[in-house]
Amino acid sequence: MSHPSDGKRMTVLFSEERIRERVAELGRQIRADLGSDEEITLLCILKGSFIFAADLARAISGPVAVEFLGVQSYGDATQSSGHVQITHDLTNPIEGKHVLLVEDIIDTGLTIAYLVQSLLARSPASLRVCALFEKPTEEQKVRADYVGFQLGDEFVVGYGLDWAQRFRNLPYVAAIETD
């Protein structure tokens, strides 16, 4: 299957329906873990997790606030540069708040490790990580508290994930041929 604007080969890994089901499960689990009365500050890591974060926010019952943090570590490459750059900082303090850091994918874990360290310095009441995808390896620096799906080495696009800023709008997640 190929995207209308590109001749790249893609293989659908997770359908729109499967993603919707898993996000609903994550929402229920997160709310159960944090309690029904606790406000959760959902911290969306831009740009890749914006679609996941929007759906997750709707899947978590009870009080939810939303913040955004812009981070760049890939540029146009298919592998992390290892250098994390904050491109948009929080607009409100998180001190004393229950924060759920929402990431699209944890690969090496370098970005999340940097963000967790940086955010803990801001004194939240709690800090948990939720990733739509995780590529578990022994070298991975941080593991998510909540994971939608495990991945292997494939490079994926869709549902907010991109390749050179393209394919974010696909309603499913697909492995893409990048060579």
pLDDT digits (tens, 9 = 90+) for 135-177: 887 776 778 999 999 998 899 999 999 998 899 999 999 999 8
Write phi, then psi, for 156 (nearest 5 degrees): -115, 150
Residues in contact with 132: Cβ distance below 8 Å, sequence separation at least 6, in sequence order: 19, 49, 52, 103, 104, 105, 147, 148, 149, 159, 160
Give me the domains of the chain, ranges plus CATH numbers.
Answer: 22-149 (3.40.50.2020)
* Averaged pLDDT, 42-52: 93
Cβ-based neighbour number of residue 1 at 10 Å:
10
pLDDT one-digit tens code per residue, 2-45: 444 467 789 999 999 999 999 999 999 999 999 888 999 999 99
Whether residue 87 is predicted with pLDDT greater than 60 in this model: the reply is yes
Output the six-digit token pair for 178.
């990048």
Q: Which of 7-21, 50-64, 66-80, 131-145 has the lowest mean pLDDT?
A: 66-80
3-state secondary structure (DSSP) of residue 45: strand
* Averaged pLDDT, 70-88: 67
| Catalytic residue flag (residue 55) | no
Per-residue exposure over 67-104, b if at least 16 CB sit within 10 Å of its own CB, e if not: bbbebebbeeeeeeeeebeeeeebeeebeebbbbbbbb
pLDDT, greater one: 2 or 94: 94
Whether residue 55 is predicted with pLDDT greater than 90 in this model: the reply is yes
Q: What is the pLDDT of residue 18?
A: 98
Q: How far apart, in whole angstroms, are the C-alpha atoms of residue 57 and residue 65? A: 8
Catalytic residue among 76, 89, 104, 107: 107
Residue 17, Cβ density class (10 Å: 0-12 exposed, 13-18 middle, ≥19 buried): exposed
Q: What is the pLDDT of residue 64?
A: 97
